[in-house]
């Protein structure tokens, strides 16, 4: 989709968000705002700012640095095919397995969704949302590193035959559980505490 087609869509989305906020239709404001913002953040960060390759490179470099501590041979190449960074792991049979860090592994989509959910959270101040977004982005980046590190260790121990199991199942399960933990810590638990405090104030005599 061309830029000239995206601009009217962005203006329309922004107008709807402003309308919903002005009339305090909070549920639809949150849904429309968060879903739209996630799309626009991923689009701007990935396509316009090329942050996907930056995230992929940072994850590959971090995993590479950690694997050196465990004596697991890895390599990182800057000129990877498809403008994506490639993490390579040597196997016991003296061969190499290529892990391509693409859109699913860079953490860009997950970071965009989390930032959008926090950005449009209606009961928090701008400062609270800003701090939560920074913490959430860092936590998501670290979770992504741990996900890839688990895949690397499994490959190093069990060989290329374990690639599908490590990447498709174990790695995704690990990242899913970590993501649930991040959402619970940054959104669910603070919301529960807020509701409990509000109920407590309502029960107190005037």
Compute the distance between CA of residue 170 and CA of residue 205 in angstroms, rounded to an integer. Answer: 53
DSSP-assigned letters across all residues of 60-103: HHHHHHHHHHTT--EEEESS-GGG--EEEEE-TTS-EEEEE--H
Q: Is the pLDDT score of 145 beyond 90?
A: yes
pTM given for the model = 0.88
**In angstroms, what CA-CA distances link 156 with 56, 58, 94, 153, 159?**
21, 21, 11, 5, 6
Compute the distance between CA of residue 9 and CA of residue 5 in angstroms, rounded to an integer. Answer: 7
Q: Is the pLDDT score of 28 beyond 90?
A: yes
Average of per-residue pLDDT across 113-125: 91
Q: What is the pLDDT of residues 149-205, one digit of tens each?
A: 999 888 888 888 888 899 889 999 999 999 999 999 999 999 898 888 888 888 776
- On average, the pLDDT of the chain sits at 86
pLDDT at 137: 96
Q: Is the pLDDT score of 6 beyond 90?
A: no
Start-to-end CA distance of the chain, whole Å, equals 58
Q: Is the pLDDT score of 91 beyond 60?
A: no
Least confident window among 54-58, 121-125, 200-204? 200-204
Q: Is the pLDDT score of 27 beyond 80?
A: yes
pLDDT at 131: 95
Compute the distance between CA of residue 97 and CA of residue 75 in angstroms, rounded to an integer. Answer: 10
CA 103 from chain centre, in angstroms, equals: 10
Q: Is the pLDDT score of 206 beyond 60?
A: no
Q: Is the pLDDT score of 90 beyond 80?
A: no
**Between residues 91 and 204, the one the model is more confident about:** 204
How buried is 28 (Cβ within 10 angstroms: 0-12 exposed, 13-18 middle, 19+ buried)?
middle
**Between residues 98 and 110, the one the model is more confident about:** 110
């Amino acid at each position: 989709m061309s830029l000239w087609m995206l601009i009217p869509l962005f203006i329309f989305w922004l107008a709807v968000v402003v309308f919903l906020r002005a009339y305090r239709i909070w549920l639809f404001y949150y849904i429309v705002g968060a879903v739209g913002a996630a799309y626009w953040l991923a689009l701007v960060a990935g396509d316009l700012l090329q942050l996907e390759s930056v995230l992929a490179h940072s994850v590959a470099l971090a995993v590479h640095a950690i694997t050196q501590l465990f004596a697991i041979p890895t390599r990182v190449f800057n000129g990877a095919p498809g403008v994506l960074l490639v993490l390579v792991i040597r196997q016991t049979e003296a061969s190499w397995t290529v892990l391509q860090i693409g859109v699913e592994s860079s953490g860009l989509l997950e970071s965009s969704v989390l930032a959008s959910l926090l950005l449009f959270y209606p009961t928090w101040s701008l400062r609270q949302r800003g701090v939560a977004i920074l913490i959430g982005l860092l936590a998501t980046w670290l979770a992504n590193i741990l996900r890839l590190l688990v895949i690397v260790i499994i490959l190093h121990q069990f060989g290329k035959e374990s690639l599908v199991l490590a990447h498709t199942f174990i790695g995704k399960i690990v990242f899913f559980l970590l993501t649930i933990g991040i959402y619970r810590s940054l959104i669910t638990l603070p919301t529960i505490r807020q509701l409990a405090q509000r109920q407590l104030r309502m029960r107190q005599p005037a």
